[in-house]
Chains A and B, each alone.
Chain A
């Protein structure tokens, strides 16, 4: 059966409070509880709650034929526990239907896979444990790395941790003439299957849906189904990967995004020969067509589909290197607050805020940043990191 595989990324970082030089050595609490709480509540009302309800409704309506998958970051889950237990409950209800697959990621939605194998493993395990704890012993089988960051080497590590498959971006520069609509294998470990995002059709929903200047505006289910039918018959899997906040937050309810999703499954069932599968089912049913070579890391971000949204400029590299040189010291510490802050400080969003690619993708970066400029983001992060370093030094 030909199949559509929906995967939604759900993540919120712990944002830092404005932390001044004068506070270094004195104030060891870094997190902006007020803004974190208000953002979670806002997104809960606009996106998480209405969309979860809609998905639940669709799963019931189509009697198990409609399925989706999620990756819920650890920092999100922690904030849901405190600020939005209603949302957590509704995710639990969704998972209990058996038609929702949960994926494993790094606990703090971090970039550690690029820096430290040991930290990567420990963050993956920590996330797995959290999922088990909150979802009735659920154990994810498929992995997705932060921002779909992937390379042959990362795939190898993921395979060694026991996963069957990994999700990543169907970036043009790695695919060349190949289509993302097949199942692939990791170039080093063929047992690890690779699912590639169809970025054109995914981004039609995630980015272009409400864009009035887009020549295909407005996007209707009829139109979308027509495009699905244009996919060559031998191509089996359509991977639609996107941020969950697409629904109601990036694309407001007024754009009709919820109505689009409400009618999409029905249109797919009646007008195409596609069904819906979760990543594990795709791996079980589809046969891989070959391996995919990704020698240098890719991601799903920006036009370049590389790492430059988080790493590469001097601000980001300085912050990143200074953070990870602390790993050994942190591992020796038994202080739970040190462990907590170490996790939260690794969240990729902090590095995203320091991105200086103003002129191409700066708009979307500015939208997500609580800072006025990447320089402000750096200054604040480094002040916090300086205090964190002092705390580590004062241990023992």
Chain B
């Protein structure tokens, strides 16, 4: 059984959680010797050789193939300028639309050349890249033998659909996040349509959590029986003993993630203010960047907690580990989180976690305080308790460690391979 898999990014060149999840899954597959062709828009050459990689930028499209024209015709609707980067401030927006105007003049040319060079990023030409990716996917499906197609998230759904229309093999759509998680109630209709088309064209859908499955069923009208839940795992379940020493006398409570609507940063700020009202010996840290950052800074100033609430900006590599290591409590107050891997990273650093009930990870991690994202009183309570009552935080640390060991990508891959087999049988 050979699987043709379409992703969007692959470590080390990633900017989102999707790349990490794909990496984990591919690694798990390799553990079970599952044959895999992994396609990404752009390969950098330093990827871990776990599968047969195909660089979409290298694929030459044979425009004489009539079926491609059909695919192309279906895709051209995507080309209309769309504002996909969901959070732009007015200045960025101006620059962006300006660029868009300039770029549109050169658009047709790239359609006519045989190769298309992808950036593989989440930039301004995202929709264009998504549709080109689909065209290339059709060519790959023609060139490479395979028994099943597996596509990750909406970015590669058109690719999955195109491949299926060429080879006729079954398609599995893997949903790591939906447009509702990314944008709240103001969904981008174009993205929603692509997601829905992908789900409908798929023979089976894998959702990363029950929460995500519910969204798929309720918002996209997909029959329940078509969706299976397979939770994500962690790449490395070992406990990290850090030598990092804390330089401040206070305890540290951390929020780490994009500072966007989806992550619920404002609830963290409000809870911080409540805790600081009772206990001065705490520092709060908001690590990350995003469109709500300035609003959070503003709110911290308004609440007059500026000397006890800090912002680090976007953290990379070692600094992320350092931040986890320095933290006494980790809070993930996400409003909507299909899975959410970072609390598991916190557990690896022996840091007790508070997570919102509105996150997929709450379904697998038992030893964590779970609260509703909007319940800032409960959040403040939980923070205070984990900081002051040694017993409960020790218990969470110890039991969390045990739980982590069960969350391995090999187990995930095993389940996915079983789904492959069942799907092919049908």
Contact = CB atoms under 8 A, between A and B. Distances in A.
Contacts of B326: 22
A24 B247 contact: yes
B97 interface: no
B255 to A, nearest CB: 12
A319 B306 contact: yes
Interface stretch (A156-164, A273-281, A385-393): A385-393
Chain B contact residues (Cβ within 8 angstroms of A): what range?
Answer: 20 to 34
Nearest to B293: A375
A386 B308 contact: yes
A25 B249 contact: yes
A26 B294 CA distance: 27
A150 B313 CA distance: 38
B298 A24 contact: no
B105 interface: no
Interface residues of A, number: 25
Interface stretch (A67-75, A232-240, A376-384): A376-384
Given A21-B285, A322-B307, A386-B307, A378 B247 contact: no
Given A25-B247, A373-B294, A375-B293, A317 B310 contact: no
Contacts of B112: none
Contacts of B297: 315, 375, 378-379
A20 interface: yes
A26 B247 contact: yes
B248 A318 contact: no
A321 interface: yes
Task: Summarize A's interface: helix, strand, loop or mixed.
Answer: helix
B322 A375 contact: no
A79 to B, nearest CB: 28
B244 to A, nearest CB: 9
B298 A390 contact: no
Given A322-B306, A386-B307, A378 B248 contact: no
B302 interface: yes
Interface in B311-328: 311-313, 319, 322, 326
Contact of A375 (B298, B312, B319): B298
A389 B307 contact: yes
Contact of A317 (B285, B301, B312): B301
Contacts of B300: 318
A314 interface: yes
A318 B249 contact: no
B304 interface: yes
Interface string A199-234: 000000000000000000000000000000000000
Nearest to B298: A314
Contacts of A321: 304
B235 to A, nearest CB: 25
A25 B301 CA distance: 21
Contacts of B247: 22-26
Nearest to A378: B297
A321 B303 CA distance: 13
24 contacts: A21-B310, A21-B311, A22-B312, A22-B319, A22-B322, A24-B247, A25-B246, A25-B247, A25-B248, A313-B301, A314-B301, A315-B297, A315-B298, A318-B302, A319-B306, A322-B304, A322-B307, A375-B294, A375-B297, A379-B313, A386-B283, A386-B307, A389-B307, A390-B249
Interface of B: 246-249, 283, 285, 293-294, 297-298, 300-302, 304, 306-308, 310-313, 319, 322, 326
Given A314-B298, A382-B306, 16 more contacts: A20-B312, A21-B285, A21-B310, A22-B319, A25-B249, A26-B247, A315-B301, A318-B302, A319-B301, A319-B306, A378-B301, A379-B310, A382-B310, A385-B307, A386-B307, A386-B310
Closest 3 A/B residue pairs (Cβ): A25-B247, A314-B301, A26-B247
